[in-house]
Amino acid sequence: MNIKSLPSDERPRERLIDQGAEALSPAELLAILIGSGNSEESAVQLMQRLLSDCGGSLKALSRLSLSDLTKNYKGLGPAKAVTILAACELGKRRMMETAAEKRHIKDSTDLYNIMYPRMRDLPHEECYALYLRADYSLEGQPFLISKGGITGTQVDIRLVLREALIRQTPTLVLAHNHPSGSKRPSNEDNQLTERLARSCKLMNIKLLDHVIITDGDYYSYREQGQLC
């Protein structure tokens, strides 16, 4: 069923032109992207069903794979599914762009705000190092140290310190996510922090913090008094 078959005042494109994008529901905005639905559903109805299956969450939608979309929803071929995933990625990058505008680090909340957009939808663990100049401003982009599975990732301390020497920064921060949603550090997290702190001290580099990122919250080793 094509969007053009709808009454003119119900067509998402026309409504966006007349009323602005903010007047449209997420399903209507997605319907504009895919253009048409299937023989039983309009594009709007199809997107309403898709979002309903995601609990109304755009974040849950962004976690679906190309296979999830094409196999489970009649009318969503690879081209339309790719369009939806591209839109989700653009939204994520828009948040990262906003976070990157804040380049000076005052506290752990600043670190969380910078890293959360990058890590919010990851189904696996990733670990990044952030390198800071003497005034605690960021030197370049966060550096991906490692990528792992659902419950862990291996971190090579030599790689962390090597990048600090290359960037000539006196201070660094480690940040990784917990896809489980629990911000509580594991024994492995604690051991990694201790090893990295000792290694940084030998290299005369300050380990400012190690932050664990979850959905809506974080754990800071510095705030918890575990880093001097």
Give me the CATH number covering residue 110. 3.40.140.10
The count of structural domains within the chain is: 2
Show the domain range for 121. Answer: 102-220
pLDDT tens track for 148-195:
876 667 899 999 999 999 999 999 999 999 999 999 999 999 999 999
pLDDT of residue 63: 85
Residue 141 has pLDDT above 60, yes or no: yes
Do residue 108 and residue 83 come from a single domain? Answer: no
Do residue 24 and residue 85 come from a single domain? Answer: yes
Q: CA-CA distance, 88 to 75, in Å (whole number)? A: 19
